[in-house]
Structure 1
Amino acid sequence: MIANQFVTGLSIGAVLLLIALGLTFTFGQMGVINMAHGEFIMAGAYTTYLVQNFAGTQAVAVALPIAFVVGGVMGLVLERLLVRRFYGRPLDTLLLTWGVSLILQQAAIDLFGAPNVQVSAPEWLRGGFHAAGVDIAYNRLFIMALAAAGVTGIWLYLTRLSAGRRMRAVMQNRQLAAISGVATDRVDQLTFFIGSGLAGLAGVALTLIGPVGPQIGTYYIVDAFLVVVAGGLGQLKGAVLAAVALGLLNSYVELWTNASFAKVVVFAVIVAFLQVRPQGLFVLRSRALS
């Protein structure tokens, strides 16, 4: 049972990581506390539900690129219409995006109804296998693989592409990047698109482990912010380590208690950790004049 909980914890961490990847850039780079990020997750989940109408049991695979674009476009619209007017005012962006999240939740209720809906997993993601005394479900293995692919893709983007290097430049020093010729406004748009698109992918993953409802994103958004803060703002490797640690902690505490108490323990551990290391696991290094 202990070994099985390890696999469960890794899958929980993979879901948190998929959600936190987007926040790592929108919050870590741009200082935007985007409470509507959870609704982009919801959009990805409902996209999978709609795709199911014509793709059947293969909806999950078909919906992945579509959900990424849907989430990305929603984030881009939010950034262009509202968020761009509140840069440098994180508390204002929190209130603004919280209001947007409530509007999007109500819109989902109007469109799809309040009751949860179900997405059928494809045949190749049903069941699992037994190895070394551990039961591994195919759907959880797929979620972990999806998270690994997301991290790899983001790492390659940041380190191998010029657009990624411009994003890193803006993250480290926005003013210096701007006077060096980097179009920071365009970088912000692309950052919001990618971050929100990753939330859409997380929504697809969540359809494999439970029903889809208007509030599906709110169940994970706080934990995802904890991952970003504990890992270090804008730090990809920090987000990976923090997501895995929180997933495992949540899994094992829930095994011996219950889900509600596990949430309390995770939150308390993060608060205690931040008292000791307020900057998180890793710190963004930048050049600055002293």
Structure 2
Amino acid sequence: MNVFIFLTQAFNGLSLFTILLLMSLGLAVVFGLMGVINMAHGELMTLGAYTTYLTARFFGQFLQGWMDYYLLIAIPLAFVVCFAAGYGLERGFVRFFYRRPLDTLLATWGLSLILQQTYRSVFGAQEVSVPLAPWLAGAWQPMPGLDLPINRIFIVGLTLVVAFLVYLLFFRTRVGLRARAVTQHRAMSSAVGINTGQVDATVFALGAGLAGIAGAVFTMIGSTNPGTGQAYVVDAFVVVVFGGVASLVGTVASSFTIAQFQTVLEYVTSNTMAKVAVLALVVFALYIRPSGLFSPKTRS
């Protein structure tokens, strides 16, 4: 493997890292706060992708002069749509299964099947894609022999901005302070006047919104079908557990490690063997550190 191939694979790993991180951030905050294993999280990503697809079609039919910039509207719109969908799901469905992990797992898995069939009924089983904006086409050549796609550079930059905003939300605002308080001690937080139900709904909706952004980003590198989200939800759960539940830093580090490791192994071996090797690495690491790479410190 020469240096150009190595750099290309490393950059491809960054592309996978962005999808995993956006998916895993949403799972990390929901799983860490409420202990909910949301198997329908992948379908929320798919909803974000279909929102982007519908936005592209709307611009293509009614705002053709602004078609080059539809993505700047589609990404925030995907977040808003998935945020609203997540809030509705938490208030109307998920909150009835708190403190019942197995029931939550089965219920959200059934919900994911319902959503997949809904997408098939509305959009069809075939894959759909969106046009790439001209300003995202082409590649940047930092040195001869190394071409980095501009759309993937944009995705990496967008992901870093989103991760930074999530950090500011949880560590620099009162909303984040309440969420961290509920995560550490729910009963005490309720005793001091925090509306834990409202915190649960808001954080669950935020996780859904982040999945929507992941779906919008995914349309820039691949086509969308009703099962798109399921291809990433298991990997996202592995990232969350490997990095440490309720640890945003651990989620970022775990996403980067797994993405780079899997990308390099896919080039050397195959996609299946790469996933097996990554899973073996995670199992071995959890055997040594059962709480993940960045487990929260607690008093014994």
TM-score, normalised with respect to structure 1: 0.96
* Number of aligned residue pairs: 288
**How far did 1:89 drift?**
1.4
Residue 274 of structure 2: aligned partner: 262
Residue 89 of structure 1: aligned partner: 100
- Equivalences for residues 139-150 of structure 1 within 5 A: 139-150=151-162
- Equivalences for residues 199-210 of structure 1 within 5 A: 199-210=211-222
Mean CA deviation greater in 266-275 or 37-46? 266-275
Residue 107 of structure 1: aligned partner: 118
Percentage identity across paired residues of the two chains = 45
Give the match's secondary structure for 1:213: coil
Give the match's secondary structure for 1:33: coil
Residue 10 of structure 1: aligned partner: 14
**How far did 1:175 drift?**
1.0
How far apart, CA to CA, are the structure 2 residues paired with 1:164 and 1:181?
15
How far apart, CA to CA, are the structure 2 residues paired with 1:45 and 1:58?
16
Q: Are residues 1:277 and 2:281 paired?
A: no
**How far did 1:54 drift?**
2.3
- Equivalences for residues 50-69 of structure 1 within 5 A: 50-55=54-59, 56-69=67-80
How far apart, CA to CA, are the structure 2 residues paired with 1:75 and 1:188?
11
Q: Deviations over 1:104-155 (max 9, x none)?
A: 0000000000000111111111111111453211111111112111110011
TM-score, normalised with respect to structure 2: 0.93
Amino acid at match of 2:120: I
Amino acid at match of 1:24: A
**How far did 1:161 drift?**
0.8
Give yes or no for contact 1:58–1:121 (8 Å, CA) kept in 2.
no
Mean CA deviation greater in 125-134 or 36-45? 125-134
Q: Are residues 1:118 and 2:129 paired?
A: yes
- Equivalences for residues 18-97 of structure 1 within 5 A: 18-55=22-59, 56-97=67-108
Give yes or no for contact 1:52–1:58 (8 Å, CA) kept in 2.
no
How far apart, CA to CA, are the structure 2 residues paired with 1:144 and 1:174?
35
Give yes or no for contact 1:57–1:120 (8 Å, CA) kept in 2.
no
Task: Note the aligned Cα RMSD (angstroms).
Answer: 1.2
How far apart, CA to CA, are the structure 1 residues paired with 2:154 and 2:219?
12
How far apart, CA to CA, are the structure 2 residues paired with 1:225 and 1:205?
19
Give the match's secondary structure for 1:136: strand
How far apart, CA to CA, are the structure 2 residues paired with 1:135 and 1:261?
27
**How far did 1:100 drift?**
0.3
Amino acid at match of 1:119: V
Mean CA deviation greater in 275-284 or 37-46? 275-284
Give the match's secondary structure for 2:34: coil
Q: Deviations over 1:192-227 (max 9, x none)?
A: 110100000000000011101000000000110111
Give yes or no for contact 1:8–1:251 (8 Å, CA) kept in 2.
yes
Mean CA deviation greater in 82-91 or 233-242? 82-91
Amino acid at match of 1:191: V
**How far did 1:57 drift?**
4.2
Give the match's secondary structure for 1:150: helix
How far apart, CA to CA, are the structure 2 residues paired with 1:60 and 1:219?
23
Which stretches in structure 2 are left out of the alignment for 5+ residues? 60-66
**How far did 1:241 drift?**
0.4
**How far did 1:248 drift?**
0.2
Give the match's secondary structure for 2:140: strand
